[in-house]
Amino acid sequence: MTMPSDNPEAAGQVQSRQCIEAVIKFAFEERLFLMADEVYQDNVYAEGSAFHSFRKVLTEMGPPYLDSVELTSFHSISKGFTGESVTSHGHPHPEVATTGPGEPQSGDEDGGTPWASRGCPIATRLLLRAALRSPCAPLRLLCRDFHAEELSVSTVVCLLDSLEPAAVRRVVLRFNNLGLAGLCAVLPHLSRFPALRSLKLPYSNVDVRRTAPGTDAGIRCLAAHLRALPALKELDLYSSRLSGRLRQLLGELQTPLESLALAFCCLLPSDLIFLSSSLHAPSLLQLDLSGHNLTSPSLLQPLRTLLEAASCSLLQLELLECQLGDAELELLLPALRRCRRLRCLGLLGTPLSAAALRPGLARHCAALPDLRLVGYSQPPRGSGHHTPTQGEEGFPAELCWLLASAGRADAVWATSLQRYGAIDYFSL
């Protein structure tokens, strides 16, 4: 099949070796500088077609062409990646390779470090790994935030060890399926970073509810590695099932955490009780306890105690998908009102009625001077709407009217917080 395209390679037109040789001979005779666009070299699939590298053909043609013709070939990580062992001034470069008189030569197209990838993220990882191992130009990465996703333990460790220690302030290891054993293998490499303040480990496949050998030792090991991070202020353990283990994990930290995400962690009342009396509670700026069933009185009361302990510092509270009903909200409101510095409150996915949201929650929130953003779920029909103001329709209009009448027209109530983005710890 031939597709219309102004890009010959994308349309399946691959130059033959004879054609490339003719082009090189023409460039030799006319003393032209050759630029070969080879960004689609990994995307040749038609039967009988094959990619021929300009550089390899030039090398095999030998003198006088190899001694005279100057050639630059282009490749792109975004189109898939297979690197030739070509050099520019002695340093490997994946996207632009230059050959000319006096440059180092090699007749082996696939010598040096092998590359094989169809996707950009994998290609970038392979590029970094090869650069780090290159004897020509050892690479040190200088970055503030490091994010690794869906990588093996060995690859994560390799990249962490390539970072300049003093610059790193945040490490995010997401969807890496590390488990307790993997985390205990990776976290010792973080002790090199004296300024590491944020560690995010969402979806790490940790579940202490499973009666697996080594769980107790793994939790102790993980706790010890967290203690070895003296500057740590933000910790995200999203979706780690830590039931009953929070004291063991965080109880011996020497410095208080300021941002703690424990969403969908299957916490028990004992976990919240520990957190309420810990050194972390009075310092918390951000707290995420989404995904816990707050219809249980055994969880709701420790949460109230925790909010009271954090009331002087708390700026952001997330209670998404917590099954928070009208009765539970009524019990929680006094503790919420004590959080006078609160800026953002997330209650999305909670089955609150219009009567509970307005006037109850809205009136209480209007009394919080710094609260600017509230995420809530649209109440179901017939759940206590008032008659809308003339010219306005729907529950959002009622909220706007109520907030304006309380002098809080600056507050935003939204049923989706995507457009506002997450509040970054370092922006607080």
220-253 pLDDT, tens digit per residue, is: 999 999 999 999 999 999 999 999 999 999 999 9
State the pLDDT at residue 44.
62
For the cut 50, the answer to whether the pLDDT of residue 342 exceeds it is yes
d(CA 26, CA 3): 30
State the pLDDT at residue 358.
75
Phi, psi of 210 (to 5 degrees): -75, 130
d(CA 412, CA 26): 68
Unique residue bearing structure tokens 């010959």: 8
Helix (H) / strand (E) containing 159:
helix 153-161
Q: Amino acid letter at 218?
A: G
Confidence grade of residue 176 (pLDDT, cut at 50, 70, 90): confident
* DSSP structure string for 356-367: IIIIIIHHHHHT
Q: Amino acid letter at 347?
A: L
d(CA 396, CA 414): 8
Confidence grade of residue 368 (pLDDT, cut at 50, 70, 90): very high
What is residue 74's three-state secondary structure? Answer: strand
Contacts 24+ apart (CB under 8 A), 46-54: 46/12, 46/14, 49/12, 49/14, 50/14, 51/14, 52/14, 52/15, 52/16, 52/17, 52/20, 53/84, 53/109, 54/20, 54/23, 54/24
Edge-to-edge order in the sheet of strand 373-375 = 145-149, 170-174, 198-200, 234-236, 259-261, 286-288, 316-318, 344-346, 373-375, 412-414
State the pLDDT at residue 202.
94
- Tell how strand 96-99 and strand 259-261 pair up: unpaired
**Which of residues 158 and 307 earns the better pLDDT score?**
307
For the cut 70, the answer to whether the pLDDT of residue 155 exceeds it is yes
Mean pLDDT (the chain, rounded): 80
Give the lowest-confidence range in 137-141, 207-211, 236-240. Answer: 137-141
pLDDT in tens, 289-331: 999 999 988 999 999 999 999 999 999 999 999 999 999 999 9
Cβ–Cβ < 8 Å for 322, 329: no
Domains of the chain (ranges, CATH numbers): 17-124 (3.40.640.10), 140-231+239-249 (no CATH), 256-421 (3.80.10.10)
Alpha helices by DSSP H, 162-206: 179-186
Confidence grade of residue 390 (pLDDT, cut at 50, 70, 90): very low
For the cut 60, the answer to whether the pLDDT of residue 147 exceeds it is yes
Confidence grade of residue 381 (pLDDT, cut at 50, 70, 90): low
Cβ–Cβ < 8 Å for 117, 123: yes
- Tell how strand 91-92 and strand 87-88 pair up: antiparallel
Mean pLDDT of 165-177: 90
Mean pLDDT of 48-64: 84
State the pLDDT at residue 7.
46
Confidence grade of residue 95 (pLDDT, cut at 50, 70, 90): very low
Per DSSP, what are the bridge partners of residue 345? 317, 374
**Which of residues 80 and 291 earns the better pLDDT score?**
291
